[in-house]
Amino acid sequence: MSAQAARAFMSIGEVLEVLRHDFPDVTVSKIRFLEGEGLIEPQRSPSGYRKFTHADVERLRYILTAQRDRYLPLRVIKDHLDTAEQEAAGPTRPRALGAEAPAAEVRLSRADLLAATGLEEETLAELEDYGLITPVARWYDAEALTVARASGALAGFGLHPRHLRVLKAAAEREAGLVEQAVAPLLRRRAPGAAGRAEETARELSGLLQELHTALVRTGLRGILGR
């Protein structure tokens, strides 16, 4: 166990040392920003220095993981943490921050989506023009957030919304195949038919994704000469 891990409190520099193995991009400014947004509340020494507990570090791990792996904006992460705290036995500690917080529906405004993804307004408008993102009653859901994030990353490789139309067309064709397979189940109107149709659709979707990935890898082998 490291020296800082054995102590009750850690400095912000020691917290960075602990977190950077899993989150190499974390910085002092990032931690201070999260504090300013009310997601963490480290204690302060009499001289004003921040003092982080091990619970604070685990809370930071949860926040950073939710941002990196689930692409959640800070507002949604804070809602998850607040919910966990309300349900916890203790008044000040969230329960098991290493575990998933209760799922919350992603419902973002246009400004929220732009802030969460770093996209330019022009890029988002282009994604909407090509049908890659479609708001529902001016709100954006988890799928829109995922598409926006991925599109922003792909732009760094020179792939812009106009290039991604083929993916939209392919996804619609795959959805059509799933619809064709589950349609008989939906027409039965028997008890539990809707649930079986949903389960079948999920299974088929997973199989189609596996097939798609395998075919892309096969194509890349040809391109790369392997």
pLDDT for position 74? 81
What is the pTM assigned to this prediction?
0.53
d(CA 139, CA 80): 19
pLDDT surpasses 90 at 213: no
* Contact yes or no for 219/211 (Cβ under 8 A): no
Residue 193 tokens, joined: 């038919």
Mean pLDDT of the chain: 82
* Chain segment 109-166, per-residue pLDDT in tens: 899 899 888 899 999 999 999 999 998 888 898 889 889 989 999 998 999 999 999 9
* Burial (CB count within 10 angstroms: exposed 0-12, middle 13-18, buried 19+), residue 94: buried
pLDDT surpasses 90 at 21: no
The architecture of the domain spanning 1-104 is Orthogonal Bundle (1.10)
d(CA 67, CA 171): 26
Confidence of residue 88 (pLDDT cuts 50, 70, 90): low
Residue 196 tokens, joined: 């079986």
* Chain segment 155-194, per-residue pLDDT in tens: 989 999 999 999 989 888 988 998 998 888 878 777 777 7
Q: What is the mean pLDDT of residues 19-32?
A: 89
* Contact yes or no for 138/109 (Cβ under 8 A): yes
Q: What is the mean pLDDT of residues 215-222?
A: 86
Q: What is the mean pLDDT of residues 2-11?
A: 62
pLDDT surpasses 60 at 99: no
Give the helix/strand (H/E) hosting 21.
none
| Stretch(es) of the chain classified as CATH 1.10.1660.10 | 1-104
